[in-house]
Amino acid sequence: MPAAETYPDDLRYHPEHDWARVEGDEAILGVTWFAQDSLGELVHYEAPATGSTVAKDESYGEVESVKAVSDIVAPLSGEVLAVNEKVVAAPETVNDDPYGEGWLIRIRMSDAGELDSLLDAEAYRAVVAES
């Protein structure tokens, strides 16, 4: 079942429709409900390699639906500690649970100061309203 539209208050957001859940000096990254809804059911997740680095505002992978491919933009910089292999095997997990089981990567943040530039849920909802 596709998830209902939500933008949890405990997450930080990037205007390119990505979210970050900060846990100490680590962060879990994923794409928002809006992103998965725009794409439709996902059929492929091109994930980065564990141990590689991702840079804020730059693409670290791709998600694809039947119709389209989309870059996944990193909301924060850091080293990739883990890739969600469940999503690699079953990309539709992102549609079912974009903020839970459908997370994409876990990183060790290299610059906690970047957090200040991310949006809170309210500001991100305003971005979605204009999209």
User: What span, in angstroms and rounded, lies between the C-alpha atoms of 13 and 11?
Assistant: 7
The number of angstroms, rounded, from the C-alpha of 98 to the middle of its chain's C-alpha atoms is: 8
User: What span, in angstroms and rounded, lies between the C-alpha atoms of 81 and 70?
Assistant: 22
Is 127 a binder of other proteins (CB under 8 A)?
Answer: no
Question: With CB under 8 A as the contact rule, which of the stretches 42-50, 73-81, 104-112, 113-121 interacts with other proteins?
Answer: 42-50
Residues between 68 and 87 that touch other proteins (CB under 8 A) = 69
Question: With CB under 8 A as the contact rule, which of the stretches 39-47, 50-58, 75-83, 97-105 interacts with other proteins?
Answer: 39-47
One-letter amino acid of 107: I
Q: Among residues 39 and 76, whose Cβ is nearest to other proteins?
A: 39
Is 1 a binder of other proteins (CB under 8 A)?
Answer: no
Q: What distances in angstroms separate CA 12 from CA 46, 51, 102, one per listed residue?
A: 23, 23, 16
Residue ranges that bind other proteins, judged by CB under 8 A: 2, 40-41, 43-44, 46, 62, 64-67, 69, 88
